[in-house]
Structure 1
């Protein structure tokens, strides 16, 4: 066996061990985070002052009815037993029973989750499709200090747009395009046109933030040695920008865009409320108002798990795009 073959085998073993350590660390962090989230969501119903059953059923419910409801939900059991019953139920898909509707929480979430996921994914795609072309175009137009006016206008407008809360932007869109112009529906999920305003309310802020990131990444690539070499060879600008600049800038952009998806998932709560969207956002708001704590507990858990899974996926994608991050990560 030659020296080169031995070195190649050692490098392959090192790479395998590095990825194995990375996978173990990431899985460990995910499991710990899930345990903290599950525990926090369980304690939520027990740390609320007063009796949630009495609060949900109203002052006119008799003591016997309230006691029977507490017994049926297992709230008379010791706290440790309720905790292990809750965790055991999660493994079997049982997340408790709604106090108001008396339907399984998992059933209600399964009915509402597709609407929220569709809204968040569409908003993410729209943000990407808006941010990347605008960020690339502005970077090319303002490289090496050119067009200071465009740079100042782009930065100012993107900062302003990115600082507007989603719900406030949603209200403004409703007022202009729904009420004054009457072009688009302002409530419900009745057809393709009903997606436009809530998707824009969710996507415009992240798109503004991501466009600034794209511009910075593209400017860094435009100033790199291999791009200057390609320009010295008098290659066409279109070829340089789309075959060399964009692929190198897009990896970091998509990774950071994945982090924005976590924010979009959380942002659906208020946006769904503004547009009366039949998703988890309106479910959690209405269940808080009616003090339906098992439903609040289950919905919060689903939101938390979604954010954790997205963050883990972003870490994995970043490690694939930049294998050295698996070494630096600890």
Structure 2
């Protein structure tokens, strides 16, 4: 058993390191793959040649590619990610100021999605078991599909129009208060909650037909106890797996949602950096988002292995 866990840790660790190296290399090469001269793109077509040459020298773009790459790696390990061209601040300071807002938004969206999906999916499963309430089942299926397919930024615009502009109940942009979180968190959580509730329903319906549930019924346990204490904990593994994978996607989805709600996070920052040709800042934010997705995926694998050690056997 110990050998299987060691092999599992080595495989996951090696895969994570290789993925991080690919991500870092892609972020580094991004500035060199931009068509044309990235410095000219940053400074504009009317910039003086002397200023362009000086900027290239300051950014180290005249050095050999391998030397730039090693300097980039050294900067990552020392926390020196360069200076933002548009803000004039160290990139690390910009990330430190904006990253907490993005993480908070993504985590709250994830928590809300789970809190909605579990009770809704379980309730619909119990209510429609064995073909009962066919109308409710069809309504749930159609509604969840529609909600899941609406882009989160489009849902955000609709929420702003209804609750912010028309009803004037909630702020449409960041104000610093708790009420600022309501609309963007709902915009992020609605789609994942719809998908996860469908998974919970299907898994719970399958679990309710298992032998251990029949045994619980034979002991004359209440229906509520059977569902909550026996069936539901065994049915949520698939939902939590998908939910964990969605966590990385939720954080990445903040890019569009933050711009809809003028949220002071990395999502709105990266759009401004792209428009301003602020390549050091774009590189750093791409690394942050990519690293977050990789770490979440690895964490999901580890949690699943702890919940079901058999998943480590024969894992590739």
TM-score tier (shorter): over 0.9
For residue 133 of structure 1, what is the aligned residue in structure 2? Answer: 119
For residue 253 of structure 1, what is the aligned residue in structure 2? Answer: 239
For residue 109 of structure 1, what is the aligned residue in structure 2? Answer: 95
For residue 169 of structure 2, what is the aligned residue in structure 1? Answer: 183
User: 2:301 aligned with 1:310, yes or no?
Assistant: no
For each residue in 1:76-105, what CA deviation from the matched residue of structure 2 results, as whole angstroms up to 9, or x when unmatched?
101111011101111111122222223221
User: 2:141 aligned with 1:118, yes or no?
Assistant: no
Distance 1:208 1:88 in 2: 43
1:93 aligned to 75, 79, 104, which one? 79
User: 2:11 aligned with 1:25, yes or no?
Assistant: yes
SS in 2 for 1:116: helix
* Distance 1:199-1:28 versus aligned 2 partners, 3 A rule: same
Q: CA RMSD in A?
A: 1.1
For each residue in 1:208-262, what CA deviation from the matched residue of structure 2 results, as whole angstroms up to 9, or x when unmatched?
0000001011111111011011112221112111111122122332222101111
2:257 aligned to 268, 271, 276, which one? 271
What TM-score do you get using the length of structure 1 for normalisation?
Answer: 0.93
How many residue pairs were aligned? 316
Contact 2:16/2:298, CA 8 A, preserved across alignment: yes
User: 2:53 aligned with 1:67, yes or no?
Assistant: yes
Distance 1:275 1:302 in 2: 21
1:209 aligned to 195, 198, 204, which one? 195
Distance 2:255 2:155 in 1: 14
User: 2:314 aligned with 1:328, yes or no?
Assistant: yes
**1:63 shift after superposition:** 2.1
For residue 237 of structure 1, what is the aligned residue in structure 2? Answer: 223
Distance 1:225 1:248 in 2: 13
Query: Which deviates more from structure 2 when the two are superposed, residues 26-35 or residues 246-255?
Result: 246-255
SS in 2 for 1:329: coil
Contact 1:318/1:325, CA 8 A, preserved across alignment: yes
Query: Which deviates more from structure 2 when the two are superposed, residues 225-234 or residues 123-132?
Result: 225-234
User: 2:156 aligned with 1:170, yes or no?
Assistant: yes
Distance 2:23 2:175 in 1: 30
Whichever of the two has the greater Rg, that structure is 1
Contact 2:31/2:279, CA 8 A, preserved across alignment: yes
SS in 2 for 1:195: helix
**1:60 shift after superposition:** 4.1
Distance 1:109 1:188 in 2: 18
* Within-5 A mapping of 1:211-230: 211-230=197-216
For each residue in 1:120-154, what CA deviation from the matched residue of structure 2 results, as whole angstroms up to 9, or x when unmatched?
00000000000000000000111111111111111
Contact 2:199/2:238, CA 8 A, preserved across alignment: no
1:289 aligned to 256, 262, 275, which one? 275
For each residue in 1:298-328, what CA deviation from the matched residue of structure 2 results, as whole angstroms up to 9, or x when unmatched?
1111000000000000000011111111013
